[in-house]
Amino acid sequence: MVGAADPVTKGDRRPLVVVACRVFEGLLDRHLPPEVIDQIEFLDYGLHRVPAKLTMAVQEQIDSLEEPSMV
């Protein structure tokens, strides 16, 4: 687990990708440190209402990554 006393830099690890609902876009853009996060992908609103669609959308995002990453 990475804490404030143990910073991680991009050179030390696989790319870090965040997949989240678009409702969190403003919050995550403001609070995720750009020196740690390599990519943020936002999914459409309301996917949680249809679990099968949510599962497919998340898997499509994971499958579209060009290199092994922490998601």
CA-CA-CA-CA torsion for 58, 28, 15, 52, nearest 10 degrees? Answer: -10
Is the separation of the CB atoms in 61 and 19 below 8 Å? yes
Structure tokens at 16: 């870090």
Read off the pLDDT of residues 1-60 as tens digits, 9 standing for 90 and up: 444 445 555 566 899 999 999 999 999 999 999 898 999 999 999 999 999 999 999 999
Predicted TM-score of the model (pTM): 0.75
Domain segments of the chain as ranges: 10-63
